[in-house]
Structure 1
């Protein structure tokens, strides 16, 4: 399927004509969102939704792109952005894990509005000789500086094939876009990402070609090894991917990307208006990229997701008949987990403030594991 993206001006708003719908008064006149950098699926989808908000409601949306999870989260936590279109850094921030297991970060309260189902696997250049995950041994794997969302998922996928980071050549690139384009430039052999990122279409058309390394659902040992590294994914059959012939299926892992995220400080009414607008403009943006049909709330408004849903989103999802008692039970458990980790961090931080950075992170990750184990 051809991809149509909206990668134009930073302000993705169009003047409206005629009388605005009643919901327009519920949305602010301007908003700031953060997203992955230009060329990513997250930026393309945020741009398409922003364009739809502008056309339907006259809302001006400024999108701040960043190639790092920290760069997408800082404006949100500092109150300079209203929403962030995040990947797995939402989960890591809520857990205080990986790049966020340092004194200046730690676990933070975050809330989801909606998150599109997405697939991921080890995506290789067609000429790299990587037919299985195990074949990636000794190959150049593209990572992104300051981006655990990509890097840890790649570490988990390598574990599916019995590999660790010591078994491959990790090549770290300064931005997400640079990492994704590195295979086409023959600067790497493979990476891990969502299969509709714009640079992958370029790879598929290049002399190197593209190959989706399968993560077979019946490989129990592989999945056990993957989930030991990152317990938020599961098997998925993906039929929308750059260079994938129509009618074919790629065996991948499923997660949520992008996850529209905000803080609990955002009022219920504000988030209610946002998700309602997301729902009401669906027909305007659903063809923006090949996978945007998955923003339908019956898919994007359901657990499991990286962080708990915001109460304002739950209110709207309940009114629409989408939210169930099972969903509420999942959300209650997710909030309890986040509350426990934030409380543990508040006790841990002053007691360990004198530790060197590496020892501090190691000690916190051990404490985090204890807290999580105590919740089960």
Structure 2
């Protein structure tokens, strides 16, 4: 497991070095038009994409068309087909890079995705627990009734990761199935279940907080190395995060040590034009003040919030930018090369697998996950998903 202080330590660099990107020899060279996919029009991800688009239009004459998508398929398909340049996606982008969950399907498989940038805001992603249970840490969830959302792999994986932090699995709790995310919160309020995974600022969490049961958020001790290692084994995309906004009175004056992962996660394909990838990351950093206050969560694109050793490989041109401003280290490069090697192995394994794969969908998925795990283990990688 990587150290808990995984995010880039901006404060350790000289001010002159941080400003050096303004004097780079390479000019920003963006196309006249770009197309992105994003979450729905009422989402913070969509609002951020629009704010960035306005900045690009004002400063570089680049028009950005943002296509809203209600689910992972509608956001990822245009990227897969090359009909958009970028996706302001959620954690499904990581599942796509790994070829798991919805991507363990004949129409998908591992995707050659490359990271451009991410936003990490003040909220967290956590299990919302009924406040009348006096749950202080994930270990206190033993024997509690935990919501399982049918058809939502990302939420259930988050729950599993929190349980793992506390040394628990689904076998240590009472699983209660729900057909949808909102219904699970109705269940908590009604006293039929005790916890469900969410963001700390979502309306259902606010509703729970104002109900007779109230709300609590399990504390994840940033110094509990064993707990973080267990969590990373289940969902390595989680990062230690002190949340300063959330239901139940969470604020800068009343923070909670918890976990999060970036949202949105701005990705393109590996073959995205290098000038576009470089131009975008430089424009985002050089003109940060022009958009950071124009959409909820947009402050999260600051250089100090970028995790340069995360779970998706960066686009080569983005690596080049970080090298030029002097923040890219040998350790980061080694991590990047390992991620690229892993992804190339998955792509090769998929090509071989689909040439003689079962036709029935469930059999296909099971066989692929087995072939995937075997190939990764043989090459010294942790399959993570099985």
For normalisation by structure 2, the TM-score amounts to 0.77
Unaligned runs of 5+ in 2: 1-25, 381-386
Change (3 A) 1:274 1:218: closer
Q: How far is 1:112 from its partner?
A: 0.4
Q: How far is 1:256 from its partner?
A: 2.6
| Secondary structure of 1:351's aligned partner | coil
| Secondary structure of 2:354's aligned partner | helix
Residue of structure 2 equivalent to 1:84: 87
Residue of structure 2 equivalent to 1:332: 337
Cα distance in 2 for residues equivalent to 1:315 and 1:112: 13
Asked if 1:375 is matched to 2:379, the reply is yes
Residue of structure 2 equivalent to 1:169: 176
Q: Which moved more, 1:291-300 or 1:157-166?
A: 157-166
| Secondary structure of 1:149's aligned partner | helix
Residue of structure 1 equivalent to 2:321: 316
Change (3 A) 1:25 1:36: same
- 1:225-284 CA deviation, whole Å, 9 max, x = no partner? 433322333433223435413322212224332211000121101111111221233102
Alignment of 1:170-249 (within 5 A): 170-173=177-180, 190-197=195-202, 200=205, 209-219=214-224, 222-242=227-247, 243-249=249-255
Alignment of 1:77-156 (within 5 A): 77-117=80-120, 119-124=124-129, 126=131, 131-133=136-138, 134-135=140-141, 139=145, 141=147, 143=149, 145=151, 147-156=152-161
| Secondary structure of 2:293's aligned partner | coil
Residue of structure 2 equivalent to 1:9: none
Residue of structure 1 equivalent to 2:52: 49
Residue of structure 2 equivalent to 1:37: 40
Q: Is the 8 A contact 2:99 2:111 kept in 1?
A: yes
Q: How far is 1:125 from its partner?
A: 5.3
Cα distance in 2 for residues equivalent to 1:76 and 1:367: 26
Change (3 A) 1:324 1:225: closer
Q: Which moved more, 1:323-332 or 1:117-126?
A: 117-126
Q: How far is 1:358 from its partner?
A: 2.1
- 1:63-107 CA deviation, whole Å, 9 max, x = no partner? 223342222211111122211112221221111112211222111
Change (3 A) 1:211 1:235: same
Q: How far is 1:129 from its partner?
A: 6.8
| Secondary structure of 1:117's aligned partner | coil
- 1:94-130 CA deviation, whole Å, 9 max, x = no partner? 1111221122211111000012236422124546775
Asked if 1:62 is matched to 2:65, the reply is yes
Residue of structure 1 equivalent to 2:356: 351
Residue of structure 1 equivalent to 2:299: 293
Cα distance in 2 for residues equivalent to 1:280 and 1:234: 26
Cα distance in 1 for residues equivalent to 2:42 and 2:91: 18
Residue of structure 2 equivalent to 1:270: 276
Superposed CA RMSD: 3.4
Asked if 1:279 is matched to 2:285, the reply is yes
Change (3 A) 1:257 1:135: same
- 1:148-203 CA deviation, whole Å, 9 max, x = no partner? 33332223223334131873213232xx7x57986898697643344345665566
Q: Is the 8 A contact 2:147 2:175 kept in 1?
A: yes
Change (3 A) 1:88 1:198: same
Cα distance in 1 for residues equivalent to 2:62 and 2:133: 46
For normalisation by structure 1, the TM-score amounts to 0.79
Cα distance in 1 for residues equivalent to 2:245 and 2:233: 27
Q: Is the 8 A contact 1:36 1:86 kept in 2?
A: yes
Residue of structure 2 equivalent to 1:365: 369
Cα distance in 1 for residues equivalent to 2:286 and 2:300: 15
Q: Is the 8 A contact 1:115 1:305 kept in 2?
A: no
Residue of structure 2 equivalent to 1:15: none
Change (3 A) 1:296 1:307: same
Change (3 A) 1:150 1:64: farther
